[in-house]
Amino acid sequence: MRSLRGADSDLIDEALVLRFDAEKSFTGEATVELQTHGSVAVIRDVLDILSTIPGFRLAEPGEFTRRALENGNLDLSQVEGLADLIDAETRDQRQQALRVFSGELGRKVAEWRKDLVRASALIELSLDFSEEDIPDDIAEEIAGLLGEVHEALSREIEGTHAAERIRDGFTVAIIGAPNAGKSTLLNRLAGREAAITSEIAGTTRDVIEVRMNIGGLPVMLLDTAGLRETHDEIEALGVQRAVQRATAADLRIFLMSDADEAFPIDALDGDLRLWSKADLNPQRVPGISGFSGTGVADMLAEVESTLRARIVPSTAAVNHRHRTALIRGRDGLDSVLERIKEGESAPEISAELVRAVIIDLESLIGSVDVETLYDEIFSSFCLGK
């Protein structure tokens, strides 16, 4: 501990002062940390004093992380993982962000790059042979290397959609006829009066959203307008919006009131169909009641199980930028593999296509010119981080 004093020697705070050599710091530069008590007065006085020292200024948003990137302490995907970690609200978001921040995507890119460089070198080597004289083992190794990377990219792309859902949240829509108990169920799940409940049919006109943590998964629950034919123009707009949002949701919970009830939305695999108001009709199973809580725990467990089954745990690519680069890389390999399959001449073109794939994959971790991405990525960080 050290005493921090101002110009007049007045004591400002007792703080922990840490010095990091360049090779040991987060940014890759020699750094000093002042770990003060967190009061507004202490922080203000410390910053005021530091700002009077020539060459000292407040860091810009994300500047420390940007310096870590520029100094080679982090790659671009790790920067994105850190941003996601800062914003994480649930266990699964935290675990996914840590996986990216640990450099998992960078390690995968390094493995893919190694195989592609090997394949490119073998293609270049085949230039020394006539088309008929290319050794079979070289041709087989080229096809094998490219095929393995292609399969790996396809698996990664497949998992990015669920990874984005973990990052941004799944959407679950509660739908049913007017007075089916949708708003009461939403309030029960939210633990507060998020939606107005009434015995008057058609009370909910717009879509009401509530963010929840279900078993570590981020979920946006939607309470929608009761589905029915209506001549009320405002209610009809609410029904139309309910159908649109429910159709686009990751999962739907159908609250049934009548055995002959028809919904304007088809149930998909994983959707839940539950009898509403189980407290009044206990003989109907599976049933649920937002009023009494009957069946709520079972419903939440089934929602978590269904959503978790859609997650690919090995995925390290988690956002739209990652998916776009992976798709470009896979499409490039499609072209190369098609040329090889059809026995196309001009292997130098195939070699150039492989090099283009390498560049697409290196853009994932910032090994090529991605300056245009930096401002957007770092603007989401807090001051100084």
Binding residues: 179-184, 198-204, 223-226
Cis peptide before 347 (omega within 30 of 0): no
CA angle 349, 355, 359 (to 5 degrees): 140
Nearest to 203 by CA among 241, 254, 244, 238: 238
Q: How far apart, in whole angstroms, are the C-alpha atoms of residue 350 and residue 217?
A: 43
What does DSSP assign to residue 61? B
SS3 content of the chain, % helix, strand, coil (to 5): 50, 15, 35
Render 124-137 in DSSP notation, one character per residue.
HHGGGS-GGGS-HH
Extract the annotated binding site for K(+): 179, 198, 200, 203
Extract the annotated binding site for Mg(2+): 183, 204
Q: How far apart, in whole angstroms, are the C-alpha atoms of residue 156 and residue 137?
A: 29
Extract the annotated binding site for GTP: 179-184, 198-204, 223-226
